[in-house]
Homo-oligomer: A and B are copies of this chain.
Amino acid sequence: MAASPLIQQLMEAFRCLPGVGNKTAQRMAYHLLERDREGGRQLSLMLQKAMDGIGRCSDCRTLCETETCSLCAGNSRDDTVLCVVENPMDVEALEQATDFRGRYFVLMGHLSPLDGIGPEELGLDGLGERFANSALQEVILATNPTVEGEATAQYISDMAREKGIRTTRIAHGVPMGGELEYIDSGTLSHAFSGRRDLT
């Protein structure tokens, strides 16, 4: 490598980003150095602020820089419906795609006993308190349709039912615009057995 030590260190640092290998890291480093130093300085500043300043909402446990996130702090949301998701990105996706106006709870992961992630690690005791002390009428389980996501949904569903709260699971099936012949057999069998009456 002919690059100077500092440039090499910068390339190495870029490799912490997801999907960035040697070649992409090199392109990123030289792009900023040759064409956009101001952008690089701004990125450095925002990274430093975000890495140190962003914690978790005391209420829904999503990532935010304030004590409670803007969704939890607002009064305009419906307190009787709670949507449980795995990640903060899922909240963004649901907010963009749906007209859901209830509250969220972000697990920051899923149950995975082999990795040492049990109910305590996901903060499910806090969720249990919420089930006991609130006006909750429905818990929507929007964890991922993976083995771990399903197990997590089942676990939380059992917790909610003990308190007499209705639980629902987002529908699994053929994606809109998809073609049957290209859908994997697991999804297709799920969609077939979960068929609904046309009204």
A interface with B by C-beta (< 8 Å): 1-7, 9-10, 12-14, 16-19, 24, 26-34, 36-37, 39-54, 63-66, 69-71, 87-89, 91-92, 95-96, 108
Whether B36 pairs with A44 at a CB distance below 8 angstroms is: no
Q: A7 and B47 in contact (CB under 8 A), knowing A1-B95, A40-B16, A54-B33?
A: no
Partner of A4, one of B5, B19, B30, B66: B66
When chains A and B are docked, how far (Å) is the Cα of A87 from the Cα of B33? 11
Whether B32 pairs with A16 at a CB distance below 8 angstroms is: yes
Give this chain's copy count: 2
Whether B1 pairs with A92 at a CB distance below 8 angstroms is: yes
When chains A and B are docked, how far (Å) is the Cα of A29 from the Cα of B87? 13
When chains A and B are docked, how far (Å) is the Cα of A53 from the Cα of B65? 31
Q: List 8 A-B contacts (CB under 8 A).
A: A2-B95, A6-B46, A6-B49, A17-B31, A19-B24, A32-B51, A44-B44, A47-B47
Whether B30 pairs with A89 at a CB distance below 8 angstroms is: yes
Best-buried of A26, A32, A65 by chain B (most CB within 10 Å): A32
When chains A and B are docked, how far (Å) is the Cα of A30 from the Cα of B56? 13
Partner of A13, one of B39, B54, B88: B39
When chains A and B are docked, how far (Å) is the Cα of A71 from the Cα of B1? 11
Best-buried of A5, A12, A44, A54 by chain B (most CB within 10 Å): A44
When chains A and B are docked, how far (Å) is the Cα of A51 from the Cα of B87? 33
When C-beta atoms are compared, the residue in chain B nearest to A23 turns out to be B89
